[in-house]
Structure 1
Amino acid sequence: MPTFRNLLILAVLCFFSACDSGSEESGAVTDDDQVKEQDNGDMNAGGQDIVIDSLPLETIILPEGFKIAHYATGVENARSLAMGKNGTIFVSSRKHDEVRALRDTDGDMVADKMWVVASGLNTPNGVAFREGDLYIAEISRILKLSDIENNLETPGEPEVIYDEYPSDTHHGWKYIAFGPDGKLYVPVGAPCNICESDSIYASITRMNPDGTDMEIFVHGVRNSVGFDWNPQTNELWFTDNGRDMLGDNMPPCELNRAPEKGMHFGYPYCHGGTISDPEFGSKYDCSRFTAPAQNLGPHVAPLGMKFYRGNKFPEQYRRNIFIAEHGSWNRSEKIGYRVTMVPVVDNSEASGYKVFAEGWLNDAEQEAWGRPVDLLEMPDGSFLLSDDKANAVYRIYYEG
């Protein structure tokens, strides 16, 4: 039986052994590390821990050298993406009433904290960030949460900056973004599949950040749920969802370019630049309208689109447009459910249309496990991609 003296000697030896184990191999925490952990904890206090659920990313096919990884899972109905100046990722929802904020607090390119920053909203599909404030688009209103990154725990009630958009829910959900002119751009979809309507419908509008001076920028846009500006020319490019009920292969969805205010892109009279609408096309010839910069697949439902501004992708991918195709809903053979790329020549001309990432749709079984929605370029040159079916945000990057 050990004596008291032996036990005392053993305790002393264990104490000195533990104090001497502070090497890199042992994972010991230095004084500097303790300071960093404390600072990081203060800055990112609270929030719900994100536990990554594994999705079948092995089915996704990308060009050689590109990889896809989980950035966040469990983000219900993840739709539009916006990034704050401190790296917070804001994620909207169309089918739920909440907007969420994600943070990667340890710098491993995977989000580990999530906050609900707004709830009880009416289809809050659009989010945009400007000068510390988060803007949110409902069906008929534009809201603002001030100084949001410093108030993730207690964001308060949003300020209403505009509340005069139509209340129609058909194509009423909105994508929003600030343009190079400092104005907030807000689309207003057609309240139908195909119809003539008041001028506010089937348009893209813009306003000052305080909600004043709302005006229609372009007309004839059936339902745009994604746009971006060419960083070389500051010209607006946008996707548009083509009408339904003309068969599996008509009309094409569209990628359009709007270098100036007042342009008309054809809806409801003309589709894809050359297809006269069977109901309304007799009123105006297609030559009166601006044709698409690039026709896309029929019923692919193009949503978010972004110019790639970074330099981490190989040269052939730079300065081109990437489009998240949500996928068809009533085509006899499903199409879309992928990310496509449109090369841009001389900063103004679209040159072709090709698949960049696919595999969310099983063509043989005609079942999709995911539906891409929006793209967001990160400071490291990777893309985030939201998925409202898999409730996830992915990161696409080039590894070479």
Structure 2
Amino acid sequence: MLLTDGDDDGLPETVETYAEGLDRPNSLAFYEGSLYVAGRNHLYRISESQVETLVDSLPGNAGDWVGGIAVGIVGDSAEPRIYVAIGAPCDDCVYDSSERAVILSYALDGSDRQLVATGLRQPSDLAIHNGELWVVDSAPQGLTGDAMADELNRVTAGADFGFPTCVGMGTALVENGCDGKVSPAVVFSTGSQPLGLVFYDSDVLESMTGDVLLAMGGTFNQLDLGGYQLAAVSGIETGSPSVRTLIPDSSSNDPAIASLTPSTLNWRGVGFYPARPYDVVVNDWGWVYISLGGGRILSLRPQSENVY
């Protein structure tokens, strides 16, 4: 679907079908005027509503759907490539497929398939920033309690991030399961379900400048509502990251509000719950857009008398 902003106020007025005939489109990325879409077993490139199938053999058909997609130049590569994340075939099991729970890459025409990284249970979104590839991942749904096992990962070629034997910062699911595995850059409470990420490089919303923004989809089977948040990670480049919640916002001069957890705020209707945040993006103006279950998109923008 294409949402069009006809009066240049940053908010869409019309919705129309941009392309048809896609098989379960689940993630998209723009690159040099074309829209790249991943869905089920397919990679598509769409230019001026014309759909071209680049790949029809992505691993899939069971377990988690195809995850994130990113297009660009990573590391020392001289050419841009398509990076696509593939989920595990099950929530929590040992599997024998070498191309599930992985990141694959392709040339822009869909050729030259390469295995980039492994050990990612539900790699829901990818981002390329300053030549580095990043991915979010979620731990098995049955892993509850105080574990910090949901992840933000900096991807290096050949990295094994651990699943199904290791999750989070060294949480072994079998004996010695974390030996030789790559640790995440940041961990979050299990059940946060990071589903979308974007680097905020604008100075329009200054409190977010330099942060990684994450759409936390949240739990569906726990009383303590993990996730259902827009979170921000600061200090990612310094190696000393810190995580804070932007929505729901508990910062208040009222101590009765400031003492409430994001879970409590969500239960009270202050946050996103029961809608799940699925993704977060930033436009050229520095505005932040958050997509929610139920067909809604929210916008975070600066307060101004010129914004209606």
Tell me which interval the TM-score lies in, with the shorter structure as reference length: 0.7 to 0.9
User: Of 56, 61, 66, which residue of structure 2 is paired with 1:168?
Assistant: 61
2:289 paired with 1:384: yes
Corresponding residue for residue 140 of structure 1: 41
Give distance in 1, aligned partners of 2:110 and 2:272.
Answer: 42
2:85 paired with 1:184: no
Structure with greater helix share of residues = 1
- Cα displacement (A) at 1:226: 1.3
Matches within 5 A, 1:1-400: 100-146=1-47, 148=48, 155-156=49-50, 158-181=51-74, 182-197=80-95, 198-231=97-130, 234-250=131-147, 252-258=149-155, 260-277=156-173, 281-282=174-175, 284-314=176-206, 316-345=207-236, 347-358=237-248, 362-364=266-268, 368-389=273-294, 391-399=295-303
| Higher relative contact order, chain-length normalized (CA < 8 Å, sep 6+) | 1
- Cα displacement (A) at 1:358: 1.6
- Cα displacement (A) at 1:354: 0.9
Asked whether the equivalents of residues 196 and 279 of structure 2 are also in contact (C-alpha less than 8 Å), the reply is: yes
**Deviation string for 1:360-385 (max 9, x for gaps)?**
97325899242211111111111111
Give distance in 2, aligned partners of 1:309 and 1:378.
Answer: 11
Give distance in 2, aligned partners of 1:273 and 1:128.
Answer: 29
**Deviation string for 1:217-263 (max 9, x for gaps)?**
111111111122233xx2122110111213344352111112x2001
- TM-score calculated relative to the size of structure 1: 0.66
Asked whether the equivalents of residues 162 and 177 of structure 2 are also in contact (C-alpha less than 8 Å), the reply is: no
- The amino acid of 1:247's aligned partner reads T
Length, aligned pairs only: 283
Give distance in 1, aligned partners of 2:67 and 2:135.
Answer: 13
Q: Which runs of 5+ in 2 are unaligned?
A: 75-79, 250-261
- TM-score calculated relative to the size of structure 2: 0.85
Q: Which runs of 5+ in 1 are unaligned?
A: 1-99, 149-154
Q: Which runs of 4+ in 1 moved over 3 A?
A: 248-251, 359-362, 364-367
**Deviation string for 1:327-346 (max 9, x for gaps)?**
1111232221110011125x
Give distance in 2, aligned partners of 1:343 and 1:333.
Answer: 25
Give distance in 1, aligned partners of 2:169 and 2:179.
Answer: 8
Identity among equivalent positions (%) equals: 26
Give distance in 2, aligned partners of 1:367 and 1:176.
Answer: 25
- The amino acid of 1:168's aligned partner reads N
SS of aligned partner of 2:196:
strand
- Cα displacement (A) at 1:180: 2.5
- The amino acid of 2:170's aligned partner reads T
Give distance in 2, aligned partners of 1:301 and 1:171.
Answer: 13
